[in-house]
Every structure is written in C-alpha cells, then in structure tokens.
C-alpha cells in the first residue's frame, strides 16, 4: 500500500489504468444493459418492470461501495497518514453520492408498480436515504476543510468512519426488520434468481464497478493536478514577495 504513497508513482499507474477501467466499464455496462433491457425475459409476477434491476442493483452496490471506500481511506489516513488517502476519499464521494441517488430514483420507479406507491419508510429505503444525506454532509465537510487549508483535515476522516455504521444497517435491514423490500437475491450461499436474470445482472455490476473505478482514478488525478498547480502558484507568490 505504501508503495503507492508517492504521487508520481500513482500517476504513472493511473495514467493507463484509468482509461482502461473507464473504457471497459462503459462497454461492459452498456452491453449488459442492452442484454437485460432487450433480450432478458420479463419476470412472471413483475413483468417488464423487473428490467430496472439491471441499473438499480449496481447503483445500490456502488452507493455502499463508495462509502466503504471513504471509510477505508479515512482509516488509512488516520492510522498511517497515507498521503493519497484523503484524496481517494474525496474522489469516491461524488460518484458514490450519484449512484446512491440513482438507486433511490430507480427504486422509487420500481416501487410504484410493485408496491402501489413511490415511497415507503422501509428500513432499506430509509437507510439508503440516510446514506445519501451522509454523502452530502461529508462533501460539505471536506470542502470546508479544504477552504481552511486543511486545518480540520481529520474531521472528514472521522466522519467517514462514523458514517460507515450505516453500511451494515443497509445490508441487513431486510433481515433485521419486517421489510417491504425483498430480501437479498444474491448471497454467499447462492442465488435465488434464475440464470436468465442473474448473468446480465452480474455483468452489469462488473461494468458499473469498472466505470466507478475509472471515475475515481480520474478524480484523483484531477485533485492531484489541482494541488500541484496551487503549490506552484504559492511558491511563485513567495518568490515574487521575496
């Protein structure tokens, strides 16, 4: 892990890894969505509305994965003071929030024909909405820390770790409480879905995960470039002042 602490070394790797993840992710995600939307069969009870699953489930997964990335980066920043950890957390925040919002919107669209309502204060839906608010709070806190020249740099990291408590709540909410949301269809013990639905879903999750990784790497490169440009401007201003 510490081998990537050097920003120059990280940038050399990200320079080729970012477009690879981005390109492969876009291609695989579009292929999986095309498969699921055009060729996968309709579900016996839900009919055509089941096709939302190919966007809804990857979005839910990446919403939680984004905050998990923030939590891991926050722990790394606080314990090992890894120089890229805070940058990685910042890079995960916005795409994680976007996928969380997509999850909530697609879930609402799915819930209308399935449950007869756009929204219920179900454990899974409510905890996912809390996750979106956590993202908004973390982004605001990180921007405030950046505006104060990093004077409160530990605050976003601590918030990222505390907010991680919500991730297992989201995952187990359909098991812990009497939930209107269906229980997990894919577990470590197997899948309750037939192959006609499972394979395009798994491929969609792979594609969107690669796309997410590419976006995070692109954002990390942009943040590093911004920091380097600001450092050069400060050195130039100091030289002119002397």
Q: Within 13 Å of residue 186, how many CA atoms lie on the same side as its CB? A: 12
Q: Is 52 exposed, middle or buried (CB count within 10 Å of its CB: 0-12, 13-18, 19+)?
A: buried
Q: Is 5 exposed, middle or buried (CB count within 10 Å of its CB: 0-12, 13-18, 19+)?
A: middle
Residue 9: inside a domain, yes or no?
A: no
Q: Which residues form the domain of 206?
A: 21-38+50-182+198-241
Residue 231: inside a domain, yes or no?
A: yes
| Domains in the chain, number | 1
pTM: 0.91
Residue 70: inside a domain, yes or no?
A: yes
Is the per-residue pLDDT at 153 higher than 70?
yes
pLDDT tens-digit readout, 85-118 = 999 999 999 999 999 999 999 999 988 888 888 8
Residue 2: inside a domain, yes or no?
A: no
Is the per-residue pLDDT at 152 higher than 70?
no
What is the CATH classification number for the domain harbouring 98? 1.20.120
CB distance 1 to 82 below 8 Å: yes
Residue 151: inside a domain, yes or no?
A: yes
Please give the residue that has the higher pLDDT: either 146 or 182.
Answer: 146
Is the per-residue pLDDT at 169 higher than 90?
yes
Residue 193: inside a domain, yes or no?
A: no
pLDDT tens-digit readout, 182-240 = 777 666 666 667 878 889 999 999 999 999 999 999 999 999 998 888 777 777 777 77
Residue 122: inside a domain, yes or no?
A: yes
């Amino acid at each position: 892990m510490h081998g990537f602490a050097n920003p120059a070394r990280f940038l050399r790797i990200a320079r080729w890894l970012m477009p690879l993840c981005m390109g492969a992710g876009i291609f695989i995600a579009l292929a999986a969505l095309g498969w699921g939307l055009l060729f996968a069969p309709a579900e016996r009870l839900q009919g055509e509305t089941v096709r939302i699953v190919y966007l809804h489930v990857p979005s839910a997964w990446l919403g939680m994965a984004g905050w998990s990335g923030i939590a891991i980066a926050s722990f790394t920043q606080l314990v090992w003071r890894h120089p890229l950890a805070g940058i990685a957390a910042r890079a995960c925040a916005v795409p994680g929030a976007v996928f969380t919002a997509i999850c909530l919107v697609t879930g609402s669209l799915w819930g209308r024909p399935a449950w007869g309502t756009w929204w219920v204060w179900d454990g899974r839906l409510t905890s996912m909405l809390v996750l979106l608010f956590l993202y908004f709070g973390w982004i605001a806190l990180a921007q405030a820390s950046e505006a104060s020249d990093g004077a409160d740099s530990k605050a976003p990291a601590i918030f990222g770790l505390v907010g991680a408590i919500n991730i297992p709540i989201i995952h187990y909410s359909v098991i812990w409480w009497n939930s209107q949301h269906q229980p997990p269809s894919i577990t470590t013990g197997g899948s309750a879905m037939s192959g006609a639905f499972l394979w395009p879903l798994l491929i969609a999750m792979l594609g969107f995960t690669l796309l997410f990784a590419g976006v995070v790497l692109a954002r990390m490169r942009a943040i590093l470039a911004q920091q380097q440009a600001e450092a050069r401007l400060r050195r130039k201003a100091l030289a002119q002042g002397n």
